[in-house]
Amino acid sequence: MVLARDGTERQNTATEEICLKTTPEEKPLELQLNAVETRVLGSLLEKDITTPDYYPLTLNALLAACNQKSNREPVMDLDEAALRAALHGLEQKGLAGPARAEGRVARFEHRLAERLNLGRRETALLCTLLLRGAQTPGELRGRSERMHKIEDLDELQLVLQRLMEHDPPLARLLPRQPGTKEARYADTFNTDANKDTFAGADTDADGSTGAETSDARGDDERVARLEAELAQVRVELDELRSEFAAFRRQFES
């Protein structure tokens, strides 16, 4: 019991203060997953969208979804032990776990809807990234269409930008690979993939990475150098043509 300055009792206030001190804080969202956890999370998310009548999934159904040969990259051959370990890891991170509805057969569900608050477009693209890894915008648009249709690449870029600006970020623009023209995007969940690619690739304010900016600048310099060399070749070719024409006239006269 607590006495106020005026001598009145303030027992309720003291109880409230104790409750505030003892209430556990919500666990921060952890998105760092291994490859198997990423596959399990992506499979749960996909089946929630494409086959809602059979969702949440039984353990056997989830195992089959993870080992699908279509719409998966890479194709995996997980066993039940690996699946259970991944489910345990996802449950510890608050991203998936047993379905809340009671039943004789255990079923499992993802918790992304309540943790990330994503729209249908963002969810479809994120699911495609989780299941198939780094992809170009064109690949993402075509592969996510079965979950949600995105009208054009402008809309796709808008959705990708929202994923990258999410707190925490859910997608990332990768540095352009040598010999490729199109940008590629990846999720930020899978710590087993793209480690070398992510290293040192800081994102600029406009959403591009420092590595990509450097690559683009290098491409511009190479193009400018090639254009200068081509102009020089043309000049030399014109001179040779002139000399050859003068040489021919000597024999024709």
What tens digit of pLDDT does each residue of 195-236 get? Answer: 544 443 444 444 444 444 455 545 555 655 665 566 667 667
Q: Give me the residue label for tokens 């949600």.
A: 148
* pTM across the whole model: 0.66
User: Same domain for 128 and 175?
Assistant: yes
Q: Give me the residue label for tokens 């352009």.
A: 176
Please check whether residue 133 is in contact with residue 193, taking contact to mean a CB–CB distance below 8 angstroms: yes
Q: Tell whether 110 is covered by a domain.
A: yes
User: Same domain for 58 and 19?
Assistant: yes
User: Same domain for 2 and 112?
Assistant: yes
User: Same domain for 96 and 144?
Assistant: no
Q: E strands along 41-136, which residues?
A: 57-58, 96-98, 107-110
| Confidence label for 53 from pLDDT (cuts 50, 70 and 90) | very high
Q: How many domains does the chain have?
A: 2
User: Same domain for 60 and 150?
Assistant: no
Instruction: Say which residues have a Cβ less than 8 Å from residue 14's Cβ, sequence separation at least 6.
Output: 1, 2
Residue 5 above 50 pLDDT? no
Q: Tell whether 216 is covered by a domain.
A: no
C-alpha span between 252 and 242 (Å, rounded): 15
**Where among 89, 117, 145 does a domain terminate?**
117
Domain housing 62: 1-117
Q: Tell whether 41 is covered by a domain.
A: yes
